[in-house]
């Protein structure tokens, strides 16, 4: 991926700019952390579901079956054309709620919606229409892009695969979200509640610290694997 594409990618904007900035300015509360985490779970569950169908292939290239090469319209794809992006929008909403500034919600969602709309049009929709015109065009006209109407597409193709889910590397996203929530929780206890970590609530803080270290170790291990493969 070129530097221009990397810096303009929604993932780069959210992961390397918005989340660190949000951590600095956050004013999380127990309520915002609970509601925000609920949206994180909903968004990530949707992404896991979608990746179980298409995780073995890059969605931005072509949404086809692992061996048979058919257009996938089953699972979450029976309700929205881009459930991965819908899940990411829910995650964006969850993180913004956790931050604790209501006025940031329409701004963050607006930015991410624009980027995903542009990305899907430029990188995915055109390639899918070109590859599967007789199948994708009626599907495109029937099923909404991001927001479901809960009207299921009548012709459904595709089956979930744990192999696809593993190959999607989506568990890395799960681990980073867990890391972020734990850090926001610790920040809230220390800065907002003026508590001393491991003294005010030693059991909870210790358990969260162990979970944080386990997840961080997993992220470092996966990063090293990717580096060795690309070296």
Q: What is the DSSP string of the chain?
A: --HHHHHHSHHHIIIIIIHHHHHHH----HHHHHHHHHHHHHHHHHHHHHHHHHTTS-TTT--B-SSS--B--SGGGGT-S-HHHHHHHHHHHHHHHHHT-TTHHHHHHHHHHHHHHHHIIIIIIHHHHHH-HHHHHHHHHHS-SSS--S---SS------HHHHHHTTHHHHHHHHHHHHHHHHHHIIIIIS-PPTTTSSHHHHHHHHHHHHHHHHHHHHHHHHHHHHH-
On whether the CB atoms of residues 146 and 89 are closer than 8 A, the answer is yes
Per-residue pLDDT reduced to its tens digit, 92-134: 999 999 998 888 899 889 988 888 888 777 778 888 888 888 8
CA triplet 173, 174, 178: central angle to 5 degrees? 115
Distances (CA, A) of 104 to 132, 192, 229: 39, 19, 39
Record the tokens describing residue 148, joined without a space: 């479901």
pLDDT in tens, 156-171: 888 888 888 888 888 8
* Residue-level pLDDT at 11: 55
Q: How many domains does the chain have?
A: 1
pLDDT of residue 39: 97
Q: So what's the pLDDT on residue 146?
A: 92
Q: Rounded distance, CA 130 to CA 124, Å?
A: 10
Which residues 6+ apart lie within 8 Å of 207 measured at CB? Answer: none
Residue 77 burial by Cβ neighbours in a 10 Å radius (0-12, 13-18, 19+): buried
Question: What's the whole-model pTM score?
Answer: 0.83
pLDDT of residue 121: 73
pLDDT in tens, the chain (231 residues): 444 454 445 555 555 666 677 778 888 999 999 999 999 999 999 999 999 988 765 444 445 544 446 788 999 999 999 999 999 999 999 999 999 888 889 988 998 888 888 877 777 888 888 888 888 889 999 999 999 988 899 988 888 888 888 888 888 889 989 998 999 999 998 888 888 887 878 888 899 899 989 988 887 777 777 767 765
Domain that holds residue 78: 3-230
What is the per-residue pLDDT for 2?
46
């Amino acid at each position: 991926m070129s530097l221009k594409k990397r810096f303009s990618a929604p993932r780069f904007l959210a992961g390397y700019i918005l989340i660190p900035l949000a951590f600095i300015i956050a004013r999380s509360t127990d309520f915002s952390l609970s509601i925000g985490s609920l949206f994180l779970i909903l968004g990530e569950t949707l992404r896991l579901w979608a990746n179980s169908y298409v995780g073995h292939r890059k969605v931005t290239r072509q949404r086809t079956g692992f061996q048979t090469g058919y257009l996938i319209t089953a699972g979450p794809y029976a309700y929205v054309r881009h459930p991965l992006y819908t899940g990411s929008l829910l995650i964006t909403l969850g993180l913004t709620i956790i931050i604790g500034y209501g006025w940031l919600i329409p701004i963050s969602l607006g930015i991410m919606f624009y980027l995903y709309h542009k990305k899907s049009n430029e990188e995915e929709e055109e390639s899918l229409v070109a590859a599967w015109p007789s199948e994708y065009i009626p599907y495109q006209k029937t099923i909404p892009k991001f927001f479901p109407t809960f009207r299921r597409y009548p012709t459904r193709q595709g089956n979930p695969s744990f192999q696809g889910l593993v190959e999607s590397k989506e568990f890395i996203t799960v681990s980073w979200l867990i890391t972020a929530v734990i850090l926001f929780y610790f920040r809230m206890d220390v800065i907002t509640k003026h508590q001393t970590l491991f003294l005010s609530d030693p059991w909870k803080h210790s358990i969260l610290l162990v979970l944080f270290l386990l997840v961080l170790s997993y992220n470092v291990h996966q990063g090293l694997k990717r580096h060795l493969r690309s070296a």
